[in-house]
A = this chain, B = another copy of it.
Amino acid sequence: MREHGGRLLRAARQYNIPVSEWLDLSTGVNPDNWPAPAIPARAWHRLPEDDDGLVEAARRYYGAPHVLPVAGSQAAIQCLPRLRPRSRVGVLAPGYAEHAHAWEQAGHAVDRVSAEPLLESQAQFDVIVLIHPNNPGGETFGRPALLRLRDALHARGGWLVVDEAFMDATPEASVCANSGDGLIVLRSVGKFFGLAGARAGFVCAAPDLLKSLRDVLGPWTLSGPTRHVAQAAFADVAWQAAARAQLCQRSARLAALLRLHGLAPTAGTAYFQWCRDARAAHLHDALARRGILVRLFDAPSSLRFGLPLNDADYERLGHALGEELR
């Protein structure tokens, strides 16, 4: 199992600080979550049914012709490699490590390549996996370039897989509408809606590929309450518009705060800021001693800061950075 964010309970034990006292900036999840409504007893009681309207709501929200609900995009990441014979796979790196791991586990030949050389060497691969925008490096790609890449891969029976887990704040850059033969797009409900506990994601792809994926994943991959909440969240267009603006504002404020303390972000998205810094491991520990959890990467030595929620959180982070970095 790769290391993941969100290990707050472990940090609480390690640093002997109660969970409730932490400022957890270790995830890329929107800190201002969509307010999940009360769950009707029926959603707990009955087997989930495929034709409850969730798929139509997701198609509208993502603007995708065909979608399959999955238990978080993680489920699709683990399953997709099983749907191809042994292939040459180029995966954007550094990036969410589960992609390369899953393709390797399924027996494919995997190269981890940074953005520019990956696109330049596309002819060497049957499958290319991009995270867009990338996590933690924030790389983005233009739609024409992505569609050309899709065309080239598709012409030789290949796939372009685009993980758009952090795309909801910038829907204009999504290629969901183009998903289909040769282009598979993964979306995550957890990050934008702040519902990481719901374990809901969607795969946008050609119908025959979705059918194969569904056959492998089996029935009832989402719980009834999660289906209820996701469908309601997709319908709340006003909240979505406000959340997009707020994510961008919070992220810009975070970047400014980091710069103020001499920790200028290397890159960022609407969900996090990323700082390459030789002192990353030391600073991670120093912040944790103050009950502030951020995400540490070893290679390259760097920290990812998730978004503080409110003024008090920004002040607490700023104070800690001021003490540790002065």
Binding site for B on A (CB under 8 A): 1, 4-10, 24, 27, 29, 33, 35-36, 38-39, 41-49, 51-52, 71-72, 74-75, 77-78, 98, 190, 194-199, 214-226, 229
Query: In the complex, are the beta carbons of B218 and A199 less than 8 A apart?
Result: no
Most buried by B among A1, A27, A44: A44
Residue of B nearest to A26 (CB): B47
B-chain residues with CB within 8 Å of residue A199 when the two chains form the complex: 48, 220-224
Measured in the bound complex, the distance between the Cα atoms of B195 and A42 in whole Å is 9
Measured in the bound complex, the distance between the Cα atoms of B52 and A10 in whole Å is 10
B-chain residues with CB within 8 Å of residue A49 when the two chains form the complex: 6-9
Give the Cβ gap from A25 to chain B, nearest Cβ, in Å: 13
B10, B51, B215: the one contacting A1 at CB < 8 Å is: B215
Query: In the complex, are the beta carbons of B225 and A198 less than 8 A apart?
Result: yes
Query: In the complex, are the beta carbons of B45 and A197 less than 8 A apart?
Result: yes
Residue of B nearest to A47 (CB): B6
Give the Cβ gap from A206 to chain B, nearest Cβ, in Å: 19
Give the Cβ gap from A23 to chain B, nearest Cβ, in Å: 13
Residue of B nearest to A226 (CB): B223
B44, B52, B222, B225: the one contacting A9 at CB < 8 Å is: B52
Measured in the bound complex, the distance between the Cα atoms of B72 and A229 in whole Å is 19
Measured in the bound complex, the distance between the Cα atoms of B47 and A208 in whole Å is 31
Give the Cβ gap from A68 to chain B, nearest Cβ, in Å: 13
Give the Cβ gap from A96 to chain B, nearest Cβ, in Å: 12
27 A-B residue pairs with CB within 8 Å: A9-B52, A24-B46, A29-B45, A33-B41, A35-B41, A36-B39, A36-B44, A39-B39, A43-B197, A44-B194, A45-B195, A45-B196, A46-B196, A47-B190, A47-B196, A48-B199, A71-B71, A71-B221, A74-B218, A74-B219, A74-B220, A197-B224, A198-B224, A199-B223, A199-B224, A223-B223, A225-B225
Query: In the complex, are the beta carbons of A8 and B197 less than 8 A apart?
Result: no
B44, B195, B196, B198: the one contacting A195 at CB < 8 Å is: B44
Query: In the complex, are the beta carbons of A220 and B1 less than 8 A apart?
Result: no
- Contacts A6-B49, A197-B223 given; 5 further ones with Cβ under 8 A? A7-B49, A10-B51, A44-B194, A71-B71, A74-B218
Query: In the complex, are the beta carbons of A47 and B223 less than 8 A apart?
Result: no
B-chain residues with CB within 8 Å of residue A190 when the two chains form the complex: 47
B-chain residues with CB within 8 Å of residue A9 when the two chains form the complex: 49, 51-52
Give the Cβ gap from A159 to chain B, nearest Cβ, in Å: 20
Measured in the bound complex, the distance between the Cα atoms of B71 and A199 in whole Å is 11
Measured in the bound complex, the distance between the Cα atoms of B48 and A8 in whole Å is 10
B-chain residues with CB within 8 Å of residue A98 when the two chains form the complex: 218
B-chain residues with CB within 8 Å of residue A41 when the two chains form the complex: 33, 35-36
B4, B52, B194, B225: the one contacting A223 at CB < 8 Å is: B225
Most buried by B among A27, A46, A229: A46
B-chain residues with CB within 8 Å of residue A7 when the two chains form the complex: 49
